[in-house]
Each structure stands twice: as structure tokens, then as C-alpha cells.
Amino acid sequence: MSNKMNAILSHISPGDVIAFSGNGLDAKIIRWFTRSLYSHVAIVLETEYLNKQRKDILIAESTAYTVLPDFQEQKRLKGVQVHWLSNWLDIYKTCGQAWWFPLQKKLSYDRIAQMQSWLWHLNDRHTPYAFCKSIGSWLAQNKYFNAETKDKLPSASAGFFCSELVAEALQIAGMIDPKLNPAAHTPKDLMNIECFQEPMLILP
């Protein structure tokens, strides 16, 4: 990893968001339906772990991709996963871009702990990827959740899609309105919420 990239990563904090833009067909379809530059988002989970004797960043995400084995069990799982950010950046070097969205206000220790505990719990539980809800969100149909509240309708899935997971994690961290419905937010909607500083392109 370059010195420039290491310098950027040293400023990333838990709760910050990493947005990706892939060049694969599925990513292009997501961007087209959502009229967005971004096809996927993940949230920074931990910044103090060592990856092969060097500091790295763990991100939490919900994805249907099984390219990388999950951090904890080293299994390829669809749904809530934890990965080294550096591994995803290595992959996206050949097939896309990535941005760092720092939070406007750094999280307190207690808020970080609450968010991390929730995300690790979902990961331990092998929480599935919510295909139906993601499609509903992308098409702005929102038929699995009430758009105005967090009340689940009877047909709601127990899983999460990428921006839904990140939005709910930010609610737990106290950064966005608790009344906001995470399942009604695409990556574009999420990144337009006014809790972030200007994004930095970390992978052109």
C-alpha cells in the first residue's frame, strides 16, 4: 500500500463510510436504477486491528458478493460481513473507485462501542442479505417498509442491504435521525444525509 494511501487511512475513524463504484454489470445496474455514482457502501468498524503486522481498517457491510472470506470465520457468506478495507481496495483497483466520507463529528467512545457491538452481533449471527428490500429501495417502491417510519410491514425481511445496514448503524451511533427509515435509503440517499464532511476519492 502506498505512503499516500497509508496517510489517508490513518485519519479514518469508526463510523466513517466508504462508498464504492463498481464497473461490473450488477454495479452498473444499481447505479442506473438509483441514478447514483455509488453502487455500494460500507461502514468503518474498527481501526486498531493489525493485518499481517500492519495497521489496517475493518469495515462492516452487507453484500451478496462472496469474493472475500469473512474476517472472523474465513467463510464466504452472503449478508453482513466484516472485511479488511485494504483487501477491497486491492480488488477495486481493477474494477472501480472508492471514496471516504468522514463524519462531521467524531463519535464518542460509548457510541462507537454501541455501534460496534451491534455490527459484530449481526456478523456473528450470519445475518442474510436482503435482496427483496434492496430491489424495493432501488425502485423507490418501498413495499417492504413504511417510508415514513421504521415500522416493519408483515412481509419484511430479517436481513439488510448495504445502505440500510450503514444507515441503521449510524442511527445507533447517534449520527442520524432515529425516525429515518434505513430501508428506504439507497447509497445515494445515504451519502446525501448531512452528517458527513466532503468525500475524498481514495481510489481513482
Give the pLDDT score at 151.
53
Q: How far apart are CA 77 and CA 143, in angstroms?
A: 26
pLDDT digits (tens, 9 = 90+) for 104-118: 999 999 999 999 999
Give the pLDDT score at 142.
45
Q: Which parts of the chain register pLDDT below 70?
A: 1-3, 53, 134-157
**What's the CATH code of the domain at 102?**
3.90.1720.10
Give the pLDDT score at 126.
94
Beta bridge partners of 22: 96
User: Model pTM?
Assistant: 0.89
**Which residue type is seen at 94?**
T
Structural domain containing residue 71: 3-203
Reference 15, options 37, 39, 42; nearest CA is 42
Q: How far apart are CA 163 and CA 157, in angstroms?
A: 15
- Give CA separation, 51 vs 42, 54, 55, 60, 121, in Å: 19, 5, 6, 16, 22
